[in-house]
Chain A
Amino acid sequence: MASSNYNINIFKPKTPYTKINSIIILTMIAIWAVAVFGFQFLLRFSETPTPEKGYITFEQSWGKIQKGRVTVGETRELVKVLLSVSGKSIKARSNESLRKFTTLLTYNLVPQEARPAYVALTKELENNKDIDTSYLAAMLGLKKDDLVAKAIPYTLVPADKAVLTQAELKEIPALMKKYLIHNQSVLTDTKFLGFPFHYFYTSVFLLILFVVLCWSYCIIIERVNKKYGIETDEG
């Protein structure tokens, strides 16, 4: 390429003005990039998959269930975990495997003589979610207005049709992992102004930084322009 006195290249400024201009611009972009993307990398590299308490309960019971050695108490705790997953996510609640598994485990908890009534109740729930399910909540050791208890009518499926295939059963551990394990670190667990720190940094601080960066750039560049007599003709 033929050399020219008018070549412009942000990385190879020629005049004193373009040199200082390039330094300012590249510094601003470096701060911006590190603040935005650098922090997310830091978040990524510092995180550890951290299970909720419910996941530990699930893991402890899951192996025993498959071997048929789970106790009533363990089953009860497991049903509560399944209901809590169902209760916090509409998507999880729409998962047929989760619903059937919860229905079948609850069936096992119901005393023999009350099982026909339980089956009838689950059938009725298909059409009416307002039916009283408080005895099931009580059986699980939950209060009526407990949020987990409120998930009962929206989770159970007609018990007489709740047949779980092997493939559906295999879905359960993946589902529990998906909803009960989270990427946490000191950055997410530290509180700042009530926020988890990383949330504050991204949703509040970065925006403040952007405004400050832009404001500083305007101030600095106007001083530089004044010094080098740029834009003076504009008044």
Chain B
Amino acid sequence: MIKSILNKLFFSAMLLAFSASSVYAASGVKLEGGFKVGPAIILICILCVFIGVGLFNQAKDTQDYWAAGRKISRVGSGMAIASNWMSAASFLGMAAIMYGSGYHGLSYVVGWTGGYVLLLVLMAAQIRRFGKYTAPDFIGDRFYSMTLRAVAAVVAIFISFCYCVGQFGGIGLMFKWILGINYVWAVLIGASVVLTYTLISGMLGVTKNMQIQYVIIIISFMIPLFIMTFKFDYFWLLPQIGYGKVVSDVVAGVSNSGFLNSFGHNYAIIATPEFAMPWDAATGKTFFQWMATCFALMVGTAGLPHVIQRFYVVPKTSDARWSVVWGLFFICLLYWSAPVYSAFGKILSSSPAVGSLAKDAIVVYTAQLGSLHPLIVGFLAAGAISAAFSTVSGLLVAGASAFSHDLYFKVINPQASAQTQMRMARLGTILMAVGVALVAMLKLALIAQLVAVAFSLAGCTIFPLFLLGIWWSGSNRQGATAGLWTGVAISLFSITYFVASKFGVMLPGYEFVNYWVNPWYFAWIGAPVAILVNIVVSLFTEPTPEDIKKFLATQVHGG
């Protein structure tokens, strides 16, 4: 029944989208401004499908809301991981960083995929065997401390919050592009829509949505690549390899190729080796920054509460492992493709007449400059919104569950009924969405950079607790508390410097702090220091209780 309704809904959506092509009048060669009918219809149709799917898979109780009843298959869970992961930062932000900073941008590509190796070999199966629902649950139980659970819950909410800010920025940019309205209104409209359907659907609906979203995201991202590589005479059967020649063309320069961009400028570029050469001075990025960013993103990946949380929703331990493999593969499909946009974008926008473009929208601009059909560009923009939506909904659920389950139920009011918990989860979701929308309006940095803050935060706080909590039974409550506060202190230090500078206040030693403990990568130092503090304090304080050691050895490690 539900399936047939969904099928009808999806079919109608597609029909509407394609009938839009007759409505769509050629908009000339304007990259921004004006209401775009075709893309708007595609977006509305996609959102209708999401809400429809959410409605038919509504959460019945708190168990459903948090963990989707553990009914999801390996591939399905892999898709959900990928969709949850592939945010506006992956879809829009990575190409933006590569477009602006060349090889430095690849530290994001590698950092955001390499972290999954750590996650898999060190944590996935062990977390599933530990058998909790949320990251603060694990921390509270493993370190036998209610205070730690509460602090971890607040940290988890803050991580989700920072992560969401970048996503709302991406949603705002795309709504602005499609609707032709100003950025603030675009953020408000986008935030309202994503909040509505997260509230309606809960995690079960969200997980179903995520699988659909993954398909939309990946198809919308790939189609323009095939067309562009074909159109500009590169190896188009596998654009992820074919664009190698595009990169080499940017490095060596191209003149008189015979092709034109949508403005009628030659498909040509002056030799720009800084696009591909490592840590080039012209990009303003150094070797240290490449390494620090990559490392911080990797440890952050293995410490993000909303990612870790996904391992609780698979039926078996081996499913937790295989869902990472599938998830990583699905993620890589997009990550192999993102650099293609930056390389084409570099050539297509090289004419000085094109002027300065908003980097975070370079994916969409590249498709426009490549003279792709407006509906394909519209589908791409809708894909970007889907990417942001799928991540935001997962983050809102993670944030809300930390608020309702870990903070309210476990710490403040253990007598709360299931209904009250559900109400608190919804309240948490609303509060978070409103707060995020307000911060997103400030446009503090590029999307990928804003998201990187969340990764460093997770890498300094949650990652050391999981790593030592699982792999060293000697890590005790005192050590974990000292390590967590160290991570929090380093994070606050870096973020305070950054926020102050955004409001025109340069704190003492700003240049030094901004380079060595930058908000995009402070986990390079924060994570090792937090781990060290945890170990040292644990060694000099009361040992971990025997029952916890026994649980770890027998249940988690199966030894």
Contact A88 B472, CB 8 Å, known A183-B278, A202-B106, A218-B322: no
| Distance between Cα atoms of A182 and B313 in the complex (Å) | 48
Question: Can you offer 29 A-B residue contacts whose CB atoms are under 8 A?
Answer: A4-B543, A25-B122, A29-B118, A36-B110, A40-B278, A84-B270, A88-B350, A89-B282, A147-B266, A147-B268, A147-B351, A150-B352, A178-B281, A184-B273, A193-B241, A194-B241, A194-B244, A195-B247, A196-B251, A199-B106, A202-B110, A203-B336, A204-B240, A207-B109, A211-B328, A214-B116, A214-B324, A221-B321, A225-B558
A134 contact set on B, CB distance < 8 A: none
Inter-subunit contact A15/B335 (CB<8 Å): no
A96: Cβ under 8 A from any B Cβ: no
Question: A8 with B244: in contact, given A93-B352, A203-B339, A213-B117 (CB under 8 Å)?
Answer: no
Residues of A within 8 A of B294 (CB): 36-37, 40
Cβ of B215 within 8 Å of any chain A Cβ, yes or no, is: no
- Bin the interface of chain B by size: 35 or more
| B272-303 CB contacts (< 8 Å) to partner A | 272-274, 276-282, 287, 290-291, 294-295
Which residues of B are in contact with A by a Cβ distance under 8 Å? Answer: 103, 106, 109-110, 113-114, 116-118, 120-122, 125, 235, 240-242, 244-245, 247-248, 251, 253, 255-256, 266, 268-274, 276-282, 287, 290-291, 294-295, 316-318, 321-322, 324-325, 328-329, 332, 335-336, 339, 350-353, 355-356, 471-474, 539, 543, 546, 549-550, 552-554, 557-559
Query: Is the Cβ of B539 less than 8 Å from the Cβ of A36?
Result: no
Chain A 120-158, CB-CB to B under 8 Å as 1, else 0, gives 000000000100000000000000011110110110000
Q: Which of A10, A32, A231 contacts B114 (CB 8 A)?
A: A32
Q: Which of B281, B291, B335, B553 contacts A207 (CB under 8 A)? A: B335
B318 touches A214 (CB 8 A): no
Given A47-B278, A194-B248, CB of A210 within 8 Å of CB of B332: yes
Q: Give the docked Cα–Cα distance between A29 and B241 (Å).
A: 27
Contact across chains for A154 and B352 when beta carbons are under 8 A apart:
yes
Given A6-B549, A184-B277, check contact A87 B352 (CB 8 Å): yes
A177 touches B281 (CB 8 A): yes
Known A146-B255, A184-B277; judge A204-B248 contact (CB<8 A): no
A5–B473 Cα gap in the complex (Å)? 11
Please measure, in the bound complex, the distance between the C-alpha atom of A182 and the C-alpha atom of B250, giving whole angstroms. Answer: 14
Query: Is the interface on chain A under 10, 10 to 19, 20 to 34, or 35 or more residues?
Result: 35 or more
> Are B543 and A2 in contact, CB atoms less than 8 angstroms apart?
yes
Decide if A231 touches B546 in the complex (CB within 8 Å).
no
Q: Is the CB of B278 within 8 A of A222?
A: no
Distance, CA A65 to CA B474, complexed state (A): 69
A69 to B110, CA, bound (A): 51
Beta-carbon nearest neighbor of A44 in chain B:
B287
> How far apart are the CA atoms of A175 and B355 in the complex, in Å?
21
Any B CB within 8 A of the CB of A14:
yes
In the complex, are the beta carbons of B350 and A147 less than 8 A apart?
yes
Q: Are A210 and B116 in contact (CB under 8 A)?
A: yes
Which residues of chain B have C-beta atoms less than 8 A from A153's C-beta?
A: 352
Closest B residue to A206 using CB positions: B110
A30 to chain B, nearest CB (A): 11
Q: Is the CB of A182 within 8 A of B280?
A: yes
A10 vs B287: C-alpha distance in the bound complex, in angstroms? 31
User: With A6-B554, A147-B269 in contact, do A210 and B247 touch (Cβ < 8 Å)?
Assistant: no
Establish whether residues A88 and B332, one from each chain, have CB atoms under 8 Å apart when the complex forms.
Answer: no
Do A179 and B282 touch (CB < 8 A)? Answer: yes
Does A231 lie within 8 Å of B328, measured CB to CB? no
Chain A residues within an 8 Å CB radius of B240: 204
Main SS class of interface, A: helix
Q: Are A234 and B539 in contact (CB under 8 A)?
A: no
Please measure, in the bound complex, the distance between the C-alpha atom of A214 and the C-alpha atom of B251, giving whole angstroms. Answer: 34
Chain A residue nearest in CB terms to B554: A6
Residues of A within 8 A of B278 (CB): 40, 43-44, 47, 183, 188, 198
Q: Cβ of B549: which chain A residues have Cβ within 8 Å of it?
A: 4, 6-8
- Which 7 A/B pairs are nearest by Cβ-Cβ distance? A194-B244, A195-B244, A194-B245, A6-B549, A6-B553, A154-B352, A8-B473
A146 nearest CB neighbor, chain B only: B255
Residues in chain B near residue A148, CB distance under 8 A: 270
* Contact status A88-B269, CB under 8 Å: yes
Give B476's nearest chain A residue, CB to CB: A1
Residues of A close to B290: CB separation below 8 A: 40
Q: Which chain A residues lie closer than 8 Å to B471 at the CB level?
A: 8-10
Contact check, A6 vs B244: say whether CB atoms are below 8 A apart.
Answer: no
CA distance A84 to B269 in the complex (A): 10
Q: How far is the CB of B558 from chain A (nearest CB, A)?
A: 4
| Contacting pair A6 B241 (CB below 8 A) | no
Smallest CB gap from B129: residue in A: A231
For A150, list chain B residues within 8 Å (CB).
351-353
Nearest B residue to A4, CB-CB: B549
Whether B321 and A218, one on each chain, are in contact in the complex, defined by CB atoms closer than 8 angstroms, is: yes
Whether A207 touches B316, Cβ cut-off 8 Å, given contacts A194-B244, A218-B321, is no
CB-CB contacts below 8 Å: A170-208 with B:
177-179, 181-184, 188, 191-196, 198-200, 202-204, 206-208
Q: Contact string, A60-100, partner B, CB cutoff 8 A, digits 1/0?
A: 00000000000000000000000010011110110000000
Cα of A15 to Cα of B529 in the assembled complex, Å: 30
Q: Which residue of A lies closest to B246 (CB)?
A: A194
Q: Give CA–CA (A129, B248) in the complex, Å.
A: 30
Tell me, yes or no, whether A28 is within 8 Å of chain B by CB: yes
The residue on B at minimum CB distance from A18 is B559
**A88 touching B325, Cβ below 8 Å:** no
Measured between alpha carbons, how far is A150 from B350 in the docked complex, in Å?
10
Name the A residues within 8 Å of B244 (CB-CB): 192-195, 199-200
Residues of A within 8 A of B325 (CB): 211, 214-215, 218
B315 (CB) vs chain A CBs: closest residue: A234
Is A8 a contact of B553 with CB atoms below 8 Å?
A: yes
A111 close to B (CB within 8 Å)? no
Given contacts A6-B473, A210-B114, 9 further A-B contacts (CB under 8 A): A40-B287, A40-B290, A90-B355, A188-B276, A191-B248, A194-B245, A211-B328, A214-B328, A234-B318
